[in-house]
């Protein structure tokens, strides 16, 4: 494998090769394609008749409101994606990466103690500065989406104080957690040379396991509050379901999702031998007990049928493959020079550029993963149906669709490219739903 990667590395390092133009071309082509898909979907959102599978389940008023919400998000997406594309082109064309790298290097040399000099310290400052700048640039879009788009449709529950507090907390956590992870990654690459990908893969695997443990204890409390589900029928039924499926349930929580949004959800997380179920308070408030249990039967179906393990395994293969391929680019002088780095080849810069190169191929992988993910969703639905939750799951899915004003029909190409879940009419047909109005 090392020999193949070395051969690829030599073949790719071609003097004066227009890497910058190639990456911009990739980005523009992807933007044009995705815009085409968005236009197709926007046309679907202008339709006035519900899909036949939902005609007896949702009212015309609900359907019209869902379509209006979808169009509002679609218009927002057109503007935000165009801005993102223009920002990316400007960053490349104006050589902002080498300028920011030089600026952070100057700051380190002038003000930092001698022991903090070197590529890793400069990379950490570059990383923090780059993420802060990116968040500031995108802040108006986040603000508009929260306080205009979401609020106009009754979903936003945040105050402006909470919104900006979240922005500051997020940036703090990115710096506090991301910096040591980045430092470890860079140190491994420096130490092991071109064979680093074996060790960075193991490092990322360790970080993922660590974050699963760290997240509910130190990260989640910054934003939400988890409280044990109170004794009652819902807790009894969920615990009985977990016992029946031999699910290693350790904690059963309710999360105060209503603090920020009216959207509903439920999920589980944890290590293989210790799992935690989290139910949004909005889901409990707006659903019958059996419907909440049916949603969890679907979620636990993913676990019982090994979907989470399979997806985790695939993600590890992808991570290893990505790092291995990066080793063929890490010493590519023509690539660095094309982006204005003539005297040094910072690892973090190489990785950022490499991700832009990888983007078209990752898009194809994403498409395949969506196909697999939708297959798993059908299987999890079928699992819940076999447990006897067919009617309750169908009613719960319809209620969630109505409460979240989720898109009720999609263009088939758009959904194939973007959606990890089948749309509601497809799921109801697969479950044999006959159609019944849901209150």
Considering the candidates 119, 291, 377, 381, report the single residue annotated as catalytic. Answer: 381
- Residue 106 tokens read as 């100057």
Q: Of all helices (H) and strands (E), which one includes residue 317?
A: helix 307-326
The residue annotated as part of the active site, out of 119, 150, 291, 299, is 299
Give the per-residue SS3 of 70-136: HHHHHHHHHHHHHHHHHHHHHHHHCCHHHHHHHHHHHHHHHHCCHHHCCHHHHHHHHHHHHHHHHHH
CA distance 33 to 366: 15
Q: CA 209, CA 271: separation in Å to the nearest integer? A: 8
**Rounded-to-integer distance, Cα 322 and Cα 355, Å:** 9
Is the sign of the CA dihedral 126, 129, 132, 134 positive or negative?
negative
Query: For residues 382 and 285, what is the distance between their CA atoms, to the nearest angstrom?
Result: 26
Exposure string of 265-275, with b = 16+ CB inside 10 Å and e = fewer, is bbebebeeeeb
> From CA 93, how far away is CA 411, in angstroms rounded?
35
Q: How far apart are CA 227 and CA 253, in angstroms?
A: 5
How far apart are alpha carbons 127 and 428 in whole angstroms? 46
What is the C-alpha separation between 220 and 177, in angstroms, rounded?
13
Measured in whole angstroms, the distance separating CA 79 from the mean position of its chain's CA atoms is: 20
377 is an active site residue: no
Rounded CA-CA distance 342/155 in Å is 50
Report the distance separating Cα 341 and Cα 347, nearest Å.
12
Q: Distance (Å, rounded) from C-alpha 417 to C-alpha 371?
A: 9
Asked if 26 contacts 364 with a C-beta cutoff of 8 angstroms, the reply is no
Q: Confirm whether 411 is a catalytic residue.
A: no
Catalytically annotated residues: 299, 381
């Amino acid at each position: 494998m090392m020999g193949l990667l070395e051969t690829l590395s030599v073949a790719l390092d071609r003097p004066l090769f227009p890497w910058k133009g190639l990456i911009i071309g990739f980005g523009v082509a992807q933007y044009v394609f995705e815009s085409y898909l968005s236009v197709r979907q926007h046309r679907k959102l202008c339709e006035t008749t519900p899909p036949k599978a939902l005609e007896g389940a949702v009212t015309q008023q609900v359907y019209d409101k869902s379509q209006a919400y979808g169009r509002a998000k679609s218009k927002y997406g057109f503007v935000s994606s165009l801005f993102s594309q223009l920002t990316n082109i400007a960053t490349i064309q104006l050589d902002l990466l080498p300028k920011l790298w030089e600026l952070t290097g100057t700051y380190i040399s002038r003000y930092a103690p001698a022991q903090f000099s070197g590529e890793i310290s400069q990379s950490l400052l570059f990383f923090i500065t780059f993420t802060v700048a990116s968040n500031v640039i995108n802040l108006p879009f986040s603000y508009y989406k929260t306080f205009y788009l979401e609020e106009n449709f009754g979903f936003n529950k945040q105050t402006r104080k909470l919104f900006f507090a979240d922005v500051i907390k997020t940036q703090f956590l990115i710096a506090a957690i991301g910096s040591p992870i980045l430092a470890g990654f860079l140190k491994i690459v420096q130490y092991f040379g071109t064979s680093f990908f074996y060790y960075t893969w193991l490092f990322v695997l360790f970080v993922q396991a660590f974050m699963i443990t760290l997240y509910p204890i130190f990260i989640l409390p910054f934003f939400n509050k988890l409280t044990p589900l109170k004794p009652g029928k819902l807790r009894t039924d969920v615990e009985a379901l977990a016992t029946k499926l031999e699910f290693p349930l350790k904690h059963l929580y309710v999360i105060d999702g209503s603090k920020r949004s009216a959207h509903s959800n439920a999920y589980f997380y944890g290590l293989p031998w210790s799992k935690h179920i989290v139910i949004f308070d909005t889901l409990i408030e707006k659903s019958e007990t059996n419907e909440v249990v049916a949603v969890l039967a679907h979620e636990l179906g993913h676990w019982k049928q090994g979907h989470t393990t399979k997806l985790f395994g695939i993600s590890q293969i992808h991570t290893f493959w990505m790092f291995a391929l990066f080793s063929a680019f890490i010493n590519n002088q023509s690539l660095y020079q094309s982006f204005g780095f003539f005297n040094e080849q910072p690892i973090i810069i190489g990785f950022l550029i490499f991700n832009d190169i990888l983007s078209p191929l990752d898009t194809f992988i994403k498409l395949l993963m969506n196909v697999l993910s939708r297959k798993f969703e059908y299987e999890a639905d079928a699992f819940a149906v076999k447990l006897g939750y067919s009617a309750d799951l169908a009613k719960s899915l319809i209620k969630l669709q109505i409460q979240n004003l989720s898109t009720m029909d999609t263009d088939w190409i758009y959904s194939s490219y973007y959606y990890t879940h089948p749309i509601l009419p497809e799921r109801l047909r697969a479950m044999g739903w006959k159609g019944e109005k849901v209150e």
